[in-house]
Amino acid sequence: MQFSYYANFKFFNQGKIGKNPSRKFDSRSESWDMTKKIFIIIDDNKYIRESVRNILERILKEKNYLHLVEILEGSDGVDLLKFSIDYFYTQRIQLVITDENMEFMQGSAAIKILREFEMQNKIPHYCIFSSTSFEDKISQDYIKDAGADFILNKPLNKEKLLQELINFEVFKDL
């Protein structure tokens, strides 16, 4: 599969996919602090996004890292691709937590595209967690095969998330 940065960025900007009123801003124009690392939360449920954000902010505050991280939110795999294209070359993305089951693009489809883009452009690997309510082995294997580093079962647990953030050394470059 060929994945061209220019072609796909142009495709997204034409508005052919991903018209999403919940997307709060164009990240390239409003995120000026280039020293902050990026955490991305993708879920089609606004309340789950808020819950994940609150958990991450509590963890970051406890570790005294909150001022070093910018948290972005989106509602589907297309938003994940948009954010990633916006930030790939700055190498600021530190963590993605994405839902699997979403309307426009599944989390695993977006993860697969991102991992291929990473390899083709020799961009350093960053951590992608998939959150899902699917607990069967087939679904979990499918998500892992797409390139997810870890699968978080819903509902998310703060202690489990913290442990996996430590295990995957998400905080090491903060």
What tokens appear for 54 in the block? Answer: 């609150």
The reported pTM is 0.80
Q: What is the pLDDT of residue 32?
A: 57
**pLDDT tens digits, 7-30:** 333 334 444 344 443 444 444 444
**pLDDT tens digits, 67-79:** 999 999 999 889 8
Enumerate residues 6+ apart whose C-beta is below 8 A from 112.
Answer: 146, 147
DSSP three-state, residue 14:
coil
* Per-domain boundaries in the chain: 38-167
**pLDDT tens digits, 89-141:** 777 899 999 999 998 889 999 999 999 988 888 888 889 999 998 888 999 99
Backbone φ and ψ for 53, nearest 5 degrees, come out as -60, -45
Q: What is the pLDDT of residue 10?
A: 37
The fold of the 38-167 domain, in CATH, is: Rossmann fold (3.40.50)
Enumerate residues 6+ apart whose C-beta is below 8 A from 123.
Answer: 88, 89, 91, 117
- Contact indicator for 146, 113 with CB cutoff of 8 Å: no
The larger pLDDT score, comparing residue 29 to residue 88, is at 88
Q: What is the pLDDT of residue 135?
A: 84
- Contact indicator for 123, 3 with CB cutoff of 8 Å: no
Cα 41 vs. chain centroid, distance in angstroms?
5
